[in-house]
Chain A
Amino acid sequence: MSTSEVTADTAVAALFSPAWAQAALEAVNRGPSPAARAKKIDRYWSWIDEVRPRVNAVWGLAARDLEGPNCLLLTIEAGVVTRAEVVDLDDGRARATYLQVGDVDAWRQLANGYDVGKAVMYRRLMLEEGDVLLFFRTAYFWTESLAAIQEIPATAPPAAVPA
């Protein structure tokens, strides 16, 4: 959904840094840009607007093979992100209502615009904690929130070079 490129610009936040976490909080609360909204019909956004107030959860997003703190935790109250932090995956696993986990490569691809629907259906991000039925009752809130996060310009660790 995004076409922004991961950049080497050091002024841009690194994935899973505190600055990126703060940007994620703001992006989810801001919602889609007018241009992004225009790509889908009103009925779809109305569905999200309707379920959003019912979302009360700690949402974890993690990169399992990233060294150091590698799990973004967003505390969401009535659909509003009230806290963002980056913690170790074990800590995130213990605290998250829903935890989606991928590898660094998946996060690099997402930051380069990889489709969030494919990220779910092609198993680049898997739900490792949480009730899957409850998670999916507000599914499009999560996918659009992820789409908002992927719009944040971010740097990622370089891809591993095959031996």
Chain B
Amino acid sequence: MMTLVHDLAAADAANLESTDLAGMGSVDIDQVIAYVHVGTAKLPGYLELYRRYLRQRWDVYDLDFERDRSDWAAMAPEARSTFLAIASGFHHGERQVEVELGPLFMGIPEDYKIFLTSHLEDEARHTVFFDRFYREVVGVPGETILDVLDGSYQWISETFVGPFGLLSYLTDQLRRDPYNPTLLMRYATTYMLWIEGVLALSVMKITLGYARDQKVLPGYYAGFTATCRDEARHVQGGMRYIRELLDQDPRLVSELHETLRTLLALSSTSSRYVLYEPLGWSEDQVRHLIMEQFTKKMTMIGVDVPPDIKEMLAKIDPVLAGG
């Protein structure tokens, strides 16, 4: 199987950590994705991740989309169509992971609460990033954030409700019972492991790889690559938290597995065809990306993958979304 996830040298990781928004345009997305897995034998602490956030925070209003507009107009219709199918999953996905964080604050460790404030702010900024892209580049009108979300809803798959609806319902259960370890494990598996750690870090590579290789959409590339670096912190914090839950009660691994079985059952179909070829990808390559990201996350948390879950993963037809 071809390797689509790259390893990252320590020097590159150090450089990536200190790059500002202006430098994001020249950062390779493969390095950012690999950055998630640097030093996973000892995941960074929540306060260290919070300090990284303070150093890496970027202003979404500093992005300039002027060249993106002309690039977008010049793209082939087939490429624009595939791009919209994927980017819209993130437009809505970022909104969803923003609004679903609230109830998690109550039942997590105190240091994680500090870091989670930055996670929440990141997700709001990512939602605004896509709001700006859809308004200023794609040309979706609207007075409010929701107007623009409604405008791009036409491009997302009906199966988006699978993982993101599950997250919404799990969040509501957590709101009613915020200290329940079973619910916390189900929630963290859905949100941090699957949506952020597997889906987002796989699917974001498709549009970013296209923008990088075609040398187009520089505002989108810079903003979404910075978004990817933010996600790296969230995933590291989330994997640390899952490890802690398992340390406290190893029996919770069954909840993790059951949640994955549900997510994979939902991810074995799609309601729309997406042609990846206009962006330089194939369905098999995307499936391999997802399998590699999944394997790396399971390694990060030190959990074996049962054979039936491996079989389900091999048949995945993923929702093209993330958050």
Using a CB–CB cutoff of 8 Å, the interface residues on chain A facing chain B are 40-41, 43-44, 46-47, 115-118, 120-121, 123, 126-127, 132-137, 139-140, 143
Contact = CB atoms under 8 A, between A and B. Distances in A.
A126 B169 contact: yes
B270 A143 contact: no
Main secondary structure of the interface of A (DSSP, over half): helix
A13 to B, nearest CB: 27
24 contacts: A41-B271, A41-B273, A43-B269, A43-B270, A44-B159, A44-B269, A117-B158, A117-B165, A118-B153, A120-B165, A121-B96, A121-B160, A121-B164, A123-B172, A127-B169, A132-B169, A133-B166, A134-B262, A136-B162, A136-B266, A137-B261, A139-B166, A140-B162, A140-B271
A121 B161 contact: yes
B173 interface: yes
Nearest to B161: A117
A132 B170 contact: yes
Main secondary structure of the interface of B (DSSP, over half): helix
Contacts of B158: 40, 44, 117, 140, 143
Contacts of B162: 136, 139-140
B20 interface: no
A98 to B, nearest CB: 10
A137 B172 CA distance: 18
A126 B266 contact: no
Contacts of A136: 162, 165-166, 169, 262, 265-266
Contacts of B271: 40-41, 44, 140
A46 B169 CA distance: 25
Given A133-B186, A133-B258, A136-B265, 12 more contacts: A41-B273, A116-B161, A117-B158, A117-B160, A120-B165, A120-B168, A121-B161, A126-B169, A134-B262, A136-B165, A137-B261, A140-B162
Interface string B250-287: 00000000110110011011111100000000000000
A121 B94 CA distance: 13
Contacts of B164: 121
Contacts of B17: none
A123 B168 contact: yes
B270 A44 contact: yes
Contacts, number: 81
Name the residue among B159, B165, B265, B270 with the largest chain A CB count within 10 angstroms. Answer: B165
B30 interface: no
A135 B160 CA distance: 16
Contacts of A140: 158-159, 161-162, 266, 269, 271
B292 interface: no
Contacts of A117: 158, 160-161, 165
Given A41-B270, A43-B270, A121-B168, A132 B317 contact: no
A129 to B, nearest CB: 11
Contact of B262 (A47, A115, A126, A133): A133
Contacts of B161: 116-117, 120-121, 139-140, 143
B165 A121 contact: yes
B270 A126 contact: no
A118 B265 CA distance: 21
